[in-house]
Amino acid sequence: MRYCKKCVLPDSRPGVELNTDGVCSACVGAREKRELIDWQGRERALAAVLKENKASGGQYDCIVPVSGGKDSTWQAYTLKNKYGLKPLALTYKCKYRTPLGQKNLDNLIDIGVDHIDFTVSPEIERKFMLKTLQRNGSVSLVEHMAMWAITLKMAVKLGIKLVVWGENPGLEYGGSEKDRGNPYLNHDWIRKYGVTNGTFAADWADAELTLDELCTFTLPTEAELSDARIKSIFLGWYLRWDPLEVAEFSRSIGFQWADRPVFGLYPYADLDCDFIVIHHFFKWYKFGITRLWDNLAIEIRNGRLTREEAVHYIKNNPEPIPELQIKNLCAFLNITEERFWQIAESHRNLDIWQRGSGGPQKGQWYLPALVEEFGFWPDTYAADVK
């Protein structure tokens, strides 16, 4: 486990690769975004793609998957008001949508877009989520797989040829050079960056959860997408994406921030669903980071924090265990909290975690590489390390 010299991310995080100078792919990507990319040229390219794909005869011009978050609010507004398109917005309705998430989704619809709220049968979702939690330590795999599949299937079924996704996590959180240069989403991209742990729905089918039950999560094939001439683009490839600027713009058109960050650094992110908190919580076990690390890394890359300030922030802002969200998840999955903690423990990555043999970490789980890099052990999720 080695840390990027510029930000605070370790190479244990998927997608983060350090180059020979010890700089991570996300920081290299951020430098490209700042210095090398011709954003005006890309904006012209976007205008051309949107014009070329504009539907005729009173059809929707594109499908936009939205959560009601700051990014999707900005996306829907930009497509409708800046580029004059008629988008159809589509949401996978997550379990435990928060009241603020609902308010923000209502606000997005009030921008003037038609919207479909797609609810998956809770029985199937429960079975699937328990499986993904046990096998991969992920609750968000289900949500992501549903979002990719529902959106693309609806595009094919409704004959809407353009799908406009938001930011490209391969660009924002680390991805290969080739992938950073690619504005299109396809099966290969989903496998690598789609938060599906490299799997597709068929990989999860068995006697308990059949392929029929998983139909909501099954992507159209590449051939079906190509026959339907579906084009899937990331707006974040064409337009420079800064979370703070996007959040401030969205606030100016009615998107509400939380009073304080739910967790991590931002009071304007991860507001829609309680379960996203659990998704990020498992990063501690699997990769040795929390959402705070991701957020701080972005602030460093955007020049609003130094690495030293970020490390100082980690030291002085230990994060609490998300107890309420864990309770809600256990109630939904119908498991005990004891079982939840067993599952969490089973995902501790022993390549990076060790039990201390002496000193302040004696007998406790800790990350030797973190202590070596930063010179301290944070109290993050302290009850977990007692």
Residues that bind Zn ion (CB under 5 A): 4, 6-7, 24, 27
Please give the full DSSP string across 229-259, using - where no structure is assigned: T-EEEEHHHHS---HHHHHHHHHHTTPPPPS
Task: Tell me the Ramachandran region of residue 241: left when phi exceeds 0, alpha when psi lies from -120 to 50, beta otherwise.
Answer: beta
| C-alpha dihedral (299, 302, 307, 312), degrees to nearest 10 | -30
Where helices occur in 253-322 by DSSP H, the ranges are: 275-287, 291-301, 307-316
Burial 90-117 (b: 16+ CB within 10 A, else e): bbbbbbbbbebbeebbebbbebebebee
φ, ψ of residue 352 to 5 degrees: the values are -115, -25
CA angle in degrees (0–180, nearest 5) for 137-142-145: 120
SS3 state of residue 362: strand
Cβ nearer to Zn ion, comparing 7 with 64: 7
φ, ψ of residue 269 to 5 degrees: the values are -130, 160
Our measurement of the distance from residue 20's CA atom to the centroid of its chain's CA atoms, rounded to an integer in Å, reads 28
- For residue 74 the two structure tokens come to 């900005």
- Least Å distance between CB 2 and Zn ion? 11
Q: Quick one: DSSP state of residue 348?
A: -
